[in-house]
Chain A
């Protein structure tokens, strides 16, 4: 059954204070597939991503990762019952997430940031975790920066530490929420290159991004999210170059006139 999707979103709905943010999202991400989510701010991209690892509980619909229902268990009848915190924590540990504002722990060094979860969640020994953290830092091009505090690193370096921190849990999938939006333009490339390397190694990834050129290069498919729905989904060359929907067309037009690439 290797054809089972790695991530399956089924009819996700979510409202904040009566305002619908997700209005029925269905999506299947194959093993090793990279999907970029594009769309205007407020279209629901981030909420969608946060539902995948249950940082947000959907109002309706459900998420499966590698065939496992996330945050709920079947409870007989046509019902799903919320899981206890401990079970959800274990599920989250298998999903790596990278945030727009890095969210590194500023009171801990790069190394401490990376080893924290492997030690306290996976039960690794400190030595084991530290060795693996060193390898990961080298992989993201930051060998020797183990003992730097986040403030002593540039934005691009911080984001690469954040990627290493997520990878240290050996996640099944990686979620990226606008990983380069908070970076100075000259630092964007180093982070995108790190993500590209991951794609090359077959990591399943969902990436919210405004970098269209990057999406075109890396994505197997691009999803255009609009008003809480996936309006258009397909290979980057068709969605980004020849969109079928007028709204996709308009969105792309606004992006390209603003920042020509």
Chain B
């Protein structure tokens, strides 16, 4: 065992030697200046808003938990959940058709997405609401056979049905594109490996492709869900009693326009925040086996900070 020559190859591994200069980070004085200036501007704006008598904070507080507002909020949340669920079920069909080997199904799916992504939801809602002009009566039956249900369009398609229809058709087009994008982002080698093992196509899809596609589907879906929540406010134009319509209904009577819009704003912020938090945890779930491990959740971070005190 010949001894190494420290002069040539350095010393034993260990802490830095005392004569090695200490390294200090760069100073960032302008970061502090810019931060302070921005904070001052934000504070000024917030304080001006808070102290503006027209905000009528007492009115905001009085109506925040009022029954009509909560009923409207419930309809908004219900509409968001139902539209998202139905939209995704239909969206899976849209994506499956678009990726199918059958050219007719592909073309129909493409045309559907083209149409319903191009027409603004507001226009569509008005269309469905006024469907009675186009088809005064609607009937369901077997072609060439008996009629099962028949009735006037205005009875069958209420304002709420029109809202559901319009929003869902729109949602399905967007959901279909999100799902299709997610599936295309999965490495084709994955499908090939499953095929080579003799797995069924449906099994490969459920067990291999979809879980991997979810990694890109979930964030996009979160954004779509929040978009849908806000989009439901458009149904107020066809007199559906959602959150926005219910505050409009109140301020048309009391003229407390700004405070009631503030009530609606606060509720939209609350629901959106809850949805974002849910999205965060769903994303973590689907990051299983991913290239980059998910960052610690805020809860983990708080616990870690608590322990390291």
Whether A117 pairs with B199 at a CB distance below 8 angstroms is yes
Bound CA–CA A112/B208 (angstroms): 11
Q: B198's contact among A90, A150, A162, by CB below 8 Å, is which? A: A90
Bound CA–CA A49/B198 (angstroms): 16
A108 in contact (CB, < 8 A): yes
A174-205 Cβ-contact flags toward B at 8 Å (1 or 0) = 00000000000000000000000000000000
**Do A116 and B199 form a contact, CB below 8 Å, given A103-B190, A106-B289?**
yes
Whether B198 pairs with A99 at a CB distance below 8 angstroms is no
> Interface size class for chain A?
20 to 34
Q: A117's contact among B189, B198, B201, B291, by CB below 8 Å, is which? A: B198
Chain A residues lying within 8 Å of B195, measured Cβ to Cβ, are 55, 92
Whether B197 pairs with A165 at a CB distance below 8 angstroms is yes
Whether A151 pairs with B290 at a CB distance below 8 angstroms is yes
Within 8 A of B (CB), among A180-232: none
Q: A103's contact among B193, B198, B200, B211, by CB below 8 Å, is which? A: B193
Chain B residues lying within 8 Å of A165, measured Cβ to Cβ, are 197
Instruction: Tell me what chain A mostly uses at the interface: helix, strand, loop, or mixed.
Output: mixed
Whether B201 pairs with A85 at a CB distance below 8 angstroms is yes
Which among A92, A103, A108 has the highest number of chain B CB atoms within 10 Å? A103
Bound CA–CA A107/B207 (angstroms): 9
Within 8 A of B (CB), among A52-95: 53, 55, 85, 89-93, 95
B131 CB → nearest A CB, Å:
43
B196-223 Cβ-contact flags toward A at 8 Å (1 or 0) = 1111110100011001100000000000
Bound CA–CA A89/B197 (angstroms): 8
Bound CA–CA A104/B197 (angstroms): 11
Q: What is A's interface to B at a CB cutoff of 8 Å? A: 53, 55, 85, 89-93, 95-97, 99, 101, 103-109, 116-117, 120-121, 149-151, 162, 165-166, 169
Q: What is B's interface to A at a CB cutoff of 8 Å? A: 187, 189-190, 192-201, 203, 207-208, 211-212, 288-291
7 CB contacts below 8 A, A to B, read: A85-B201, A89-B198, A103-B189, A107-B208, A107-B289, A121-B198, A162-B193
- For the complex with contacts A106-B212, A116-B207, 11 further pairs of A-B residues with Cβ separation under 8 Å are A55-B195, A92-B195, A92-B196, A99-B192, A104-B193, A107-B211, A108-B207, A108-B289, A150-B289, A151-B289, A151-B291
